[in-house]
Structure 1
Amino acid sequence: MKSIQQRLLISLLIGLPLLWVLTSSFIAWRLWHEINEINDTQITQVARYLIGITPKENSYEADDDKDNHEQDESGNKSKYTAKIYNLKSKQLSGDLGEAEDDHMGFAIWDRKGRLLMADENGQSFAFLPDQRGFLEEQDSAYQRLNPFSKRWRLFYVHDDNDDKHEGRVIAVGQNLKSRQEMIINAMSVQILPMLIGLFAFMGLVIWLIRRGFMPLTQISEELEQRQPQDDRPITADVPKEIQPLVKALNILFVKVADTLAREQRFTADASHELRSPLAALKLQADLLQQQILQLSGTEDDNQLFYHAQKISDGIERATHLVDQLLILAKIEPQQQLPPEQLESPDWLLLTDIVLSDVNRLAREKHIQLKRTIQCDNPADILPILINPILFKLLIRNLLDNAIRYCPDGSLIELQLDSNAIRVVDNGLGVEPEQLVRLSERFYRPAGQNQLGSGLGLSIANRIAELHGLTLDFTNRSQPEKGFIVTVSNKK
């Protein structure tokens, strides 16, 4: 399952742009519609204005009668010229921005289709005596009204209210390209700040969510470094919604630490209590063996000595098991070693001590112990910080395991390298399917007669984990026989 923070970020970072697109689309659609309505209203108002002012400025009927009169008297027809208005952009005043003077036009015809008045754009409009209102795109006459490859929104009105100018046709048009540019500019003015605001808001959302989840991150980091037996409460400043969880965790820490403390006390007390009777039994078994040896002389006495030896071996095995259980109980609850317990090791001194400890057991089986340094400088041997007491136990368990399970007269080599420490023997090796189980607790391969508890390699593996190391178990490559245990950094 994804984290709440990741789910919130994905939902908001997808939902906010989608909501912005929908909102902007609606605003753009409404803006387009409203600007079209405003411009259409402007066209009709201009048409009404032209209807109202043109009769006062021109006496077209009078001029028309005069022209006809002159034609009758002289016999020569006078050419009538319409009044064309041409207003250049430089003559415009005021803050027009990118406004153009050619985005609108008008034309006025008499009832006979003669152009009476127009501007530079309107003189190209077509005379449509039957058209009233807006000329829509689907009208058949629309294509004839595109002389400059421009699309125009045209409005036709007839002056039927004045008997003197009855039949006069007025057309007012607006360049649709200019209208579209106006709409796009108006949309840009609104949508561009909204887009910038969207990105700013998304950045603010990311920052606020990460800041809001920061207490949880702090709690997670604190829990990762916490030891199981640590019952100190969490002190992070968390929101009210998280406080019940923090309180429950603090209570749980106390319970877990108390449970672990009781288990460790029980293990320690049980180990201590078992050591005394086991030591007494071992002493009695040794005394019994001595008495049997002193009184030996019959076959029955030899049989008694054999059973006494078995009793002594069993007691020694039980004592070894108690010692291993006590060590395992001490190191198992730890998640990491305290920094104050770590130091840079003197590998030569440390291995000298371990080899001296296991030397008596090796001599009893006529096993030769050998140490080799496989790097030029002893200071380069596996450069890590260790707990010397625990690491001595690790190497001793590996050597002890090799001594116990190698045949008499074998060779066991402790190899010190720059990236690993190895224990190599020339014994019988281990079946391949059993290699992966060697670090399990109480696991011993079948057919073993040697004294052991199945905890030595498990303890060594746990110590390696506490140091950030790993234990690898392999057989030696053919044709050589034997077993290799490698202690190295985790890959």
Structure 2
Amino acid sequence: MRYSIQKRLFTSAMFVLVAVGLCSGFVVWQLSKRASDEAYDKVLGAAALSIAETISFGESGVTVDIPYAAFAILGTSGKNRIFYRIVDPNGAAVTGTPVLGIERPLLHKSTSYFFDSHYRGEEIRVAQIAHYFKGSRGGGWFNIFVGETREARNQLATRLASFALLPAILAIALGLILIILSIRSSFSPLREIEESIRNRNPSDMSPIDVEVPIEVETLVGSINLFMARLEATLEGLRQVTADAAHQLRTPLAAMRALSELAMDTELKEPIREYVQRINNNAISATTLANQLMTEAQLLHSLETESHKQVDLNHLCRKVARHTMSELRFQTSLPEIILPSKNDTPLSVVGNEAALAELIKNLLINAIMHGEGPVEIRLGKDQSDVRLTLLDRGPGIPEAIKDTLFDRFIKDPNKRSGTGLGLSIVQQIVAASGGKIWYRHRKKGGLAIEVLLRSRPQTKLNRGEAK
């Protein structure tokens, strides 16, 4: 299953931030509750003391004069409900709510104690103090319990928590944004490596020359080493192909010459037919060898020579004249319409030898597989130049329309051709940073269109030539 390291880092960072936020929220809430309790406990204790000061212990028993101020202090919030209970030294309830604080043992020293409790299903906070009184009938420790519900406390705790958490939430959001930007920035060298590989010439196997972090330095080194080995292998294959083609040219030329000499003599059938077949095969093999050598030379030329401005109008007429001279003894030439000599010069950026081979292969393909008239058109396409070669032939067979520019793809209905011409054209177009496509003409025939750059381009997209 595929996964993204960038997304994993982002998810992990977000999980950590959320976990930190939740833990911080819990701690802040607990501290806020504690701070709220400390603030209100002082008031609650003061109310209990003011009640204790009104207790009198005499002959008639215990009397308590509950001061209004004690409850007025606690009731300032207007939300809390207040409860109290007074217990005499014998443990008997003197007045107040009988069950308030009954879970706590009585105190027998001058101290105060605060605790949480429940009353009628509600949480309450209770202050317990012990006060010693001595009267005519003796003395003892009285316990005073004063409780209140937590509405005001919770409100204060909520406000304190919100004041503390708001900056924390903003800090987490800002931290998340910074983490996203940091992760994207950290992965930018990988995107540069990707662009460096994607936008280079298809035949460029030079090392990746991009500043990379130490963490991926080994990976880039391995890629460079692999490309160096691949370049050595491809160079070896190209050299073997060129050498084989060169070595085959001599015996093929001899075979072709001897077969042509034999055909000039009086031969009986079927010997003449056999010699004719030998001659045809020799011509096909010679063409294939020449194209293989041309391909190897072009690839080397495209890698080593810099591109320059080429007058495509002049080049088209020059290549067309040479091509017609070569083919006039092999086939009957159709009418060929060339760009006018007086047309405005149209310059493109490229390798002149490679562009000449491109025009030649397109023209030969139209002559050998199409029907006349064959026309070469040139025109501007925004800032680029469009080269169009048109014929009135049958077009591209359905069987090869998706693989037309692949190597050794030929019309299954014809024996002639090597299947390399359009493949070489596609490689030249890709190396020049252009585009190539074909379309069937409305009234029959084929149009192959090539878009070439009229200005230098630093980045060539290997996926453009299709």
Say whether 1:343 aligns with 2:308. Answer: yes
* Rg comparison, structure with higher value: 1
Say whether 1:413 aligns with 2:375. Answer: yes
Tell me, in whole angstroms, the C-alpha distance in 2 between the residues paired with 1:254 and 1:441.
Answer: 24
- Say which SS state the counterpart of residue 280 (structure 1) adopts: helix
Give the partner amino acid of 2:254: A
Give deviations 1:64-121, integer Å, cap 9, x for gaps.
x9xxxxxxxxxxxxxxxxxxxxxxxxxxxxxxxxxxxxxxxxxxxx967755452682
How far off is 1:339 after superposition? 10
- Say which SS state the counterpart of residue 486 (structure 1) adopts: strand
Give the conservation status (yes or no) of the 8 Å contact 1:160–1:167.
Answer: yes
Mark the CA change 1:339 to 1:118 in structure 2 (over 3 Å): closer, same or farther: farther
CA RMSD of aligned residues (A): 4.2
Mark the CA change 1:428 to 1:207 in structure 2 (over 3 Å): closer, same or farther: closer
Give the conservation status (yes or no) of the 8 Å contact 1:156–1:171.
Answer: yes
Mark the CA change 1:122 to 1:416 in structure 2 (over 3 Å): closer, same or farther: closer
Tell me, in whole angstroms, the C-alpha distance in 2 between the residues paired with 1:187 and 1:452.
Answer: 84
Give the conservation status (yes or no) of the 8 Å contact 2:132–2:142.
Answer: yes
Tell me, in whole angstroms, the C-alpha distance in 2 between the residues paired with 1:135 and 1:230.
Answer: 77
Give the partner amino acid of 1:348: N
| Count of matched residue pairs | 412
Say whether 1:197 aligns with 2:197. Answer: no
* 1:470 alignment counterpart: 435
How far off is 1:486 after superposition? 2.2
- Say which SS state the counterpart of residue 474 (structure 1) adopts: strand
Tell me, in whole angstroms, the C-alpha distance in 2 between the residues paired with 1:462 and 1:246.
Answer: 27
How far off is 1:369 after superposition? 0.4
Equivalent residues in 2 for 1:304-343, closer than 5 Å: 306-331=273-298, 341-343=306-308
Show structure 2 runs of 5+ residues with no match. 76-81, 86-94, 102-114, 453-463
Equivalent residues in 2 for 1:84-233, closer than 5 Å: 115-116=66-67, 118=69, 121-122=72-73, 129-131=95-97, 132-133=100-101, 138-139=119-120, 161-163=133-135, 176=150, 178-224=152-198, 225=200, 230=205, 232=207
Mark the CA change 1:476 to 1:244 in structure 2 (over 3 Å): closer, same or farther: closer
Tell me, in whole angstroms, the C-alpha distance in 2 between the residues paired with 1:341 and 1:127.
Answer: 99
Mark the CA change 1:309 to 1:358 in structure 2 (over 3 Å): closer, same or farther: same
Give the conservation status (yes or no) of the 8 Å contact 1:354–1:395.
Answer: yes
Mark the CA change 1:434 to 1:326 in structure 2 (over 3 Å): closer, same or farther: same
Mark the CA change 1:113 to 1:123 in structure 2 (over 3 Å): closer, same or farther: farther
Tell me, in whole angstroms, the C-alpha distance in 1 between the residues paired with 2:128 and 2:211.
Answer: 77
Give the conservation status (yes or no) of the 8 Å contact 2:54–2:64.
Answer: no
Match of 1:482 among 445, 449, 452: 445
How far off is 1:315 after superposition? 1.6
More helix as a share of residues: 1
- Say which SS state the counterpart of residue 161 (structure 1) adopts: strand
Q: Which moved further from structure 2: 342-351 or 167-176?
A: 167-176
Give the partner amino acid of 1:394: L
Tell me, in whole angstroms, the C-alpha distance in 2 between the residues paired with 1:475 and 1:398.
Answer: 15
Give the partner amino acid of 1:259: T
Say whether 1:16 aligns with 2:16. Answer: yes
More strand as a share of residues: 2
Say whether 1:238 aligns with 2:213. Answer: yes
* 1:439 alignment counterpart: 405
Tell me, in whole angstroms, the C-alpha distance in 2 between the residues paired with 1:183 and 1:61.
Answer: 40
How far off is 1:26 after superposition? 1.9
- Say which SS state the counterpart of residue 246 (structure 2) adopts: helix
Give the conservation status (yes or no) of the 8 Å contact 1:154–1:172.
Answer: yes
Mark the CA change 1:484 to 1:258 in structure 2 (over 3 Å): closer, same or farther: same
How far off is 1:138 after superposition? 4.4
How far off is 1:171 after superposition? 7.7
- Say which SS state the counterpart of residue 468 (structure 1) adopts: coil
Give the conservation status (yes or no) of the 8 Å contact 1:435–1:473.
Answer: no
Tell me, in whole angstroms, the C-alpha distance in 2 between the residues paired with 1:169 and 1:454.
Answer: 109
Say whether 1:387 aligns with 2:351. Answer: yes
Say whether 1:42 aligns with 2:42. Answer: yes
How far off is 1:447 after superposition? 2.9
Give the partner amino acid of 1:347: L
Give the partner amino acid of 1:45: G
Mark the CA change 1:329 to 1:323 in structure 2 (over 3 Å): closer, same or farther: same
Tell me, in whole angstroms, the C-alpha distance in 1 between the residues paired with 2:396 and 2:375.
Answer: 17
TM-score by length of 2: 0.72
Tell me, in whole angstroms, the C-alpha distance in 1 between the residues paired with 2:323 and 2:201.
Answer: 36
Tell me, in whole angstroms, the C-alpha distance in 2 between the residues paired with 1:472 and 1:213.
Answer: 36
Give deviations 1:269-317, integer Å, cap 9, x for gaps.
1111111222233333344444x1xxx4xxx458655544433322221
* 1:77 alignment counterpart: none
- Say which SS state the counterpart of residue 272 (structure 1) adopts: helix
Give the conservation status (yes or no) of the 8 Å contact 2:124–2:148.
Answer: yes
Give the conservation status (yes or no) of the 8 Å contact 1:216–1:238.
Answer: no
Tell me, in whole angstroms, the C-alpha distance in 2 between the residues paired with 1:155 and 1:260.
Answer: 90
Give the conservation status (yes or no) of the 8 Å contact 1:155–1:173.
Answer: yes
Give the conservation status (yes or no) of the 8 Å contact 1:233–1:253.
Answer: no
Give the conservation status (yes or no) of the 8 Å contact 1:111–1:169.
Answer: no
* 1:98 alignment counterpart: none
Mark the CA change 1:184 to 1:484 in structure 2 (over 3 Å): closer, same or farther: same
Match of 2:258 among 260, 284, 289: 284
Mark the CA change 1:40 to 1:127 in structure 2 (over 3 Å): closer, same or farther: closer
Tell me, in whole angstroms, the C-alpha distance in 2 between the residues paired with 1:40 and 1:253.
Answer: 76
Percent of matched pairs sharing the same residue: 23
Structure number with the bigger relative contact order (C-alpha 8 A, sep ≥ 6) is 2
How far off is 1:258 after superposition? 1.8
- Say which SS state the counterpart of residue 413 (structure 1) adopts: strand
Show structure 1 runs of 5+ residues with no match. 66-109, 143-150
